[in-house]
Amino acid sequence: MKFKTGIAFLSAVVLAVFMVPQQAVSADNDDRWEQKNLRSEYHSMTITRVYDGLENPWGVAFMPDGSYLVTERAGKLKHISDGSSREISGIPSDLMARGQGGLLDVSLHPDYEENGWIYLSYSKSNGNGQTALAVIRARIDGSSLTDVEEIFIQDRFSQPGRHYGSRFAWMLDGTLIFSIGDRGNEPPRAQAKDDHAGTVIRINYDGSVPEDNPFYGHDDALPEIYAYGSRNIQGMIVDPVTGEIWATEHGPRGGDELNMIEAGKNYGWPTVTLGRDYRTEGTFPGSEARSKEGMVDPVHEFLPTLAPSGLALITTDTFPRWNGNLIAGGLRPERALRLLIEDHTVIHEEELFLQVVGRIRDVREGPNGNIYLLNDEPNGGLFRVSRN
């Protein structure tokens, strides 16, 4: 696949910072907050806060009427419309919001206007202090969920708090893929094909398993697994033209990655990693090398660290010079990166939104071609990026 921008003469990765750093926005109930005339290499932009007062928002989905569904990690689903919000009740009572866990991603079925299905992921408690990632589908009736069905649950409960992954994306054939992190305490789980931890999962819209999954019918593997060997994918998109899957993944200390996910492939964690152990700053326990035959190397390593979360592919001409580029959100550095890719190689980066909205949890291209950001703050918000 070739991502086109009209500047094919670029042949090396260049970090170009054209954004003037701003103070992270605080939720002060001023719904007119804007940062105007923010400059990038090709476009001047305005960032407008659509809604504030969200508690650690995690994922956003766009409703056909122009409103938004936003998840809050603490366990609430908000429907935002015309500057106000209402809470949608009916979230499963076994949700455990602890550490990185809670109510996570949200997505609409591609045929939502015909069937009304929405999909939610969350950390499910077993009542004994352990959690597993679960996925439900439901419909919205007024201000509550109805027809709630659990369509997936991780095969093993473990200590809560870290590495749930959980980003949704829809493949061109209508199947749903989503990530599950290695759950933190036992990284080698990501190398076990009989364990959901550290994988990309592919299921049908009703939770059944596609028979063309790479490990379907294998006695030594779980049939839902599409790819494995990942630490914690929190950004994932499917190219609507080519069907290619792009994902951004947290490394340990360093080693944040951009990967192209392919069926049946092993992405190496923790046997190979570009990062270092938090505790010793040496190589990660159990890692053998930075690369190994039979394991997929990342397309790109984010240097310095990005702490990636949220990934968008620009597909419209609202930002014409960015068409075909990826926008990868970052948490700790409070920024995003625009990635120009040719022949599956990142040949250029541009830093965007540096310290403008805070920790970027989610990045989406909206139906109108604008870009939407969620910031992961206790009093966070939803922001719209439009071209001047």
Evaluate whether 120 touches 138 at the Cβ level (below 8 Å).
yes
Kindly state the tokens that stand for 135: 């996925």
Three-class SS of residue 32? coil
Phi/psi of residue 321, nearest 5 degrees:
-80, -5
Distance CA(173)–CA(230), nearest Å, equals: 24
Evaluate whether 318 touches 255 at the Cβ level (below 8 Å).
no
Residue 113 per-residue DSSP state:
H
Evaluate whether 365 touches 316 at the Cβ level (below 8 Å).
yes
Evaluate whether 73 touches 96 at the Cβ level (below 8 Å).
no
Length of the chain: 388
Tell me how far apart the 2 most distant CA atoms of the chain are, in Å. 58
Is residue 163 annotated as a catalytic residue, yes or no? yes
Give the residue carrying structure tokens 């009703």.
Answer: 206
Catalytic hit among 43, 79, 109, 163:
163
Distance CA(366)–CA(80), nearest Å, equals: 14
Distance CA(78)–CA(374), nearest Å, equals: 13
Q: Dump strand ranges (E) for 89-194.
A: 103-108, 118-125, 131-141, 144-153, 168-170, 176-180
Catalytic positions are 163
